[in-house]
């Protein structure tokens, strides 16, 4: 069978066929440390790291830290943690800020070659002269400054002698270029703010287009892969490289792939930051956030995220992937790997009137039928049992296969019981159900009765030995399928689901009193859950996904 390749692999194979030395292949993932990584970044990470694996080439983790107004050390730390957790190891860790000196020297070279000038107009004046895609722009009155004056002014900018916004350094390309990005783009501006790494050493900071390609060149990245919105930047990327690249060195190649867009959520650090700052979520790692840290706390295994990105594919055209695909990937992985346990989320008490009150009977339950090596564990059975409120109705139609008065159900891994009588409180709520059990029907006992088929099987927890646990259940953070279309912040807030989280105290089997942070379980019939934190008196579980796709359109 012919191995299928994505279009980036085709590009690389072509380059190799045309004579590129395989040992020169090198990739990078270049996050700006201005927020936490989200599911969209998972795609860029997987694209680069998978290529590196496939071609046995290195990957650079490069922090694109050229704007001290937005970047912070806490984001650098979080990004590293998230990539490692996803299961990837970078070969080199770099910072664009390490190249400030080299970039500055190259800028001086541009000025000396008549390819850059200091403009002293306001940004509005510069914007007015830009023209439009159909109309040429106008030259700045400062475009023909002498080389000496340009060098003097740029060095004054560098020394902090000028206020922010007074002067910028622009590349001198053309004000008539069809590609608007080539109309003398700004490459340096003055920012008087401490940089998390270079402190107050620098006052002039390079802009993205100038810093990015040059960083790729310094690191000798062979294929600089970015998202489609950078396609128009490619011409500028190449123009800058042409000014500085030595013929003996590899010239990086920028290629673009489609962003990953996910329904019912947003993949923009800026908007995610807005949710954090507005207090609508508890932080970047709120389990409802599409950030890697949020997905981790929600219980998504890294394998599920990788598989999701693989299924979404590497394409040249933008599309929106259904959030249910991500949930599907989580379920598939968790079904294989999580042990089954019994937890009753909304307890109703049953008393088995014909069961002795003084036994220490244990029943055996399989940990994971999908994994024969996972073994079995014991659970206490007893006279008093909890089942879910929703699994009992005094009367019900024939389609209700759970417990009703006069009918039988099986308690999973235990006995068949029959409901006989209901105990009400003074407000007429059912507070207890009196049942009887069939002592010969114990699961796995080999008796004829143990094989007896009844319509319903319920999960349950014996009151004896049960532990109270806190359970957080989530719904989608956005009711709206495409919150990225919000026109403004208010509009975005309107799209939020007001009931996206619910907390309750549940009854869990005794085994879970020893559950550790990060462990994932399937609560029988309820879904997949992860231990969030066990330092509080009650163990906390976060729901990852239900067992089935319950999202109703």
Question: Which positions lie near ligand ATP, rule CB under 6 A?
Answer: 30-32, 40-41, 43-44, 64, 226-227, 259-260, 267-269
Beta-bridge mates of residue 502? 473
CB nearer to ligand ATP: give 32 or 366.
32
101 is catalytic: no
Which tokens go with 469?
A: 């646990």
476 is catalytic: no
Write out the H or E segment, with its range, that includes residue 302. helix 302-312
- Per-residue x/- track, 7-36, Mg ion (CB under 5 A): -------------------------x----
- Least Å distance between CB 46 and Mg ion? 18
Shortest distance, position 47 Cβ to ligand ATP, whole Å: 8
Q: Which residue in the list 115, 143, 166, 259 is annotated as catalytic?
A: 259
CA distance 547 to 540: 20
Distances in whole angstroms, Cα of residue 316 to Cα of each of 8, 19, 219, 543: 10, 25, 26, 35
Per the annotation, the verdict on 455 as an active-site residue is no
In the structure encoding, which two tokens stand for residue 36, read together? 């936490």
**CA–CA distance, 365 with 442 (Å, rounded to integer):** 12
The option from ligand ATP, Mg ion, none interacting with 226 (CB < 5 to 8 A, set by class) reads ligand ATP
Angstrom distance (rounded) from CA 158 to CA 324: 51
Which residue's CB is nearer to ligand ATP, number 226 or number 241? 226
Question: Which of ligand ATP, Mg ion, none does residue 269 bind to, with CB < 5 to 8 Å depending on kind?
Answer: ligand ATP
Which residue's C-beta sits nearest to Mg ion? 32
**Shortest Cβ distance from residue 85 to ligand ATP (Å)?**
17
Long-range pairs, 208-211, Cβ under 8 A, ≥24: 208/64, 208/66, 209/181, 209/185, 209/233, 209/236, 209/237, 209/240, 210/103, 210/107, 210/171, 210/185, 210/240, 211/64, 211/66, 211/96, 211/99, 211/103
Taking the C-alpha atoms of residue 551 and residue 231, their distance in angstroms, rounded to an integer, is: 36
Residue closer to ligand ATP by CB (options 216, 532) is 216
- HEC-encoded secondary structure of 264-287: CCCCCHHHHHHHHHCCCCCCCCCC
How many residues make contact with Mg ion (CB under 5 A)? 1
CB-wise, 211 or 512, nearer to Mg ion? 211
Instruction: Residue 385: name its binding partner from ligand ATP, Mg ion, none (Cβ under 5 to 8 Å by kind).
Output: none
**Nearer to ligand ATP among residue 157 and residue 226 (C-beta):** 226
Q: Give the nearest distance from C-beta 65 to ligand ATP in angstroms.
A: 10
Residue 509 touches which member of ligand ATP, Mg ion, none, C-beta under 5-8 Å by kind: none
Residue 260 site contact among ligand ATP, Mg ion, none (CB < 5 to 8 Å, cut-off depends on kind): ligand ATP
Among residues 158, 253, 269, 402, which one is catalytic? 269
The residues facing 16 across adjacent strands are none
| Least distance between ligand ATP and beta carbon 270 (Å) | 6
- What's the distance, Cα to Cα, between the start and end of the chain in Å? 40
380: tokens are 């206490």
Residue 237 CB, nearest approach to ligand ATP (Å): 13
Nearer to ligand ATP, 258 or 538 (CB): 258
Smallest gap from residue 215 Cβ to ligand ATP (A):
12
143 vs 271 by CB, closer to ligand ATP: 271
Place of tokens 């050493």: 201
Tell me the backbone φ, ψ of residue 424, rounded to 5 degrees.
-105, 155
Supply the residues annotated as catalytic: 32, 259, 269
Q: Which residues bind Mg ion (CB under 5 A)?
A: 32
């Amino acid at each position: 069978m012919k191995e299928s390749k994505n279009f980036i692999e085709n590009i690389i194979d072509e380059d190799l066929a045309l004579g590129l030395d395989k040992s020169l292949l090198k990739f990078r993932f270049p996050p700006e440390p201005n927020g936490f990584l989200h599911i969209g970044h998972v795609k860029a990470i997987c694209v680069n790291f998978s290529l590196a694996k496939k071609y046995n080439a290195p990957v650079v983790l490069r922090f694109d830290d050229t704007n001290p107004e937005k970047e912070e050390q806490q984001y650098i730390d979080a990004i590293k943690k998230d990539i490692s957790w996803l299961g990837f190891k970078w070969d080199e860790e770099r910072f664009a800020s390490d190249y400030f000196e080299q970039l500055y020297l190259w800028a001086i070279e541009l000025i000396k070659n008549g390819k850059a000038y200091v403009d002293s107009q306001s940004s509005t004046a510069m914007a007015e002269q830009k023209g439009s895609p159909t109309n040429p722009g106008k030259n700045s009155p400062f475009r023909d400054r002498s080389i000496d004056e340009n060098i003097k002014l740029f060095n004054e900018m560098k020394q902090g002698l000028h206020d922010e916004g007074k002067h910028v350094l622009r590349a001198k390309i053309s004000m008539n270029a069809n590609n608007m990005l080539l109309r003398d783009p700004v490459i340096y501006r003055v920012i008087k703010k401490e940089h998390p790494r270079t402190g107050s050493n620098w006052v002039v900071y390079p802009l993205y287009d100038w810093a990015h390609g040059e960083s790729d060149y310094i690191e000798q990245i062979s294929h600089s892969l970015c998202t489609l919105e950078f396609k128009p930047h490619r011409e500028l990327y190449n123009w800058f490289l042409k000014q500085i690249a030595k013929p003996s060195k590899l010239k990086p190649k920028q290629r673009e792939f489609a962003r990953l867009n996910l329904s019912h959520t947003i993949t923009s650090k800026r908007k995610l930051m807005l949710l954090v700052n507005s207090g609508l979520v508890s932080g970047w790692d709120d389990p409802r956030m599409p950030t890697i840290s949020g997905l981790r706390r929600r219980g998504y295994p890294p394998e599920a995220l990788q598989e999701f990105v693989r299924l979404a594919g590497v394409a040249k055209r933008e599309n929106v992937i259904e959030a249910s695909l991500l949930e599907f990937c989580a379920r598939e992985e968790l079904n294989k790997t999580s042990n089954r346990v019994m937890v009753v989320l909304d307890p109703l008490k049953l008393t088995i009137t014909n069961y002795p009150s003084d036994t220490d009977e244990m029943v055996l339950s399989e940990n994971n039928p999908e994994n024969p090596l996972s073994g079995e564990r014991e659970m206490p059975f007893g006279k008093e049992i909890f089942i879910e409120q929703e699994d009992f109705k005094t009367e019900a139609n024939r389609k209700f296969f759970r417990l009703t008065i006069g009918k039988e159900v099986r308690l999973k891994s235990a006995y068949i019981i029959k409901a006989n009588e209901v105990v009400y409180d003074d407000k007429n709520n059912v507070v207890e159900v009196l049942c009887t059990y069939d002592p010969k029907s114990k699961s796995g006992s080999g008796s004829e009765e143990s094989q007896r088929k009844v319509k319903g099987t319920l999960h349950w927890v014996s009151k004896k030995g049960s532990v109270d646990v806190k359970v957080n259940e989530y719904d989608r953070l956005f009711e709206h399928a495409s919150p990225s279309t919000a026109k403004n912040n208010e509009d975005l807030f309107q799209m939020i689901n007001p009931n996206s989280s619910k907390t309750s105290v549940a009854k869990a089997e005794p085994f879970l009193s020893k559950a550790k942070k990060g462990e994932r379980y399937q609560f029988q019939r309820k879904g997949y859950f992860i231990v969030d934190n066990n330092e509080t008196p009650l163990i906390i579980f976060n729901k990852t996904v239900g067992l089935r796709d319950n999202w109703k359109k």
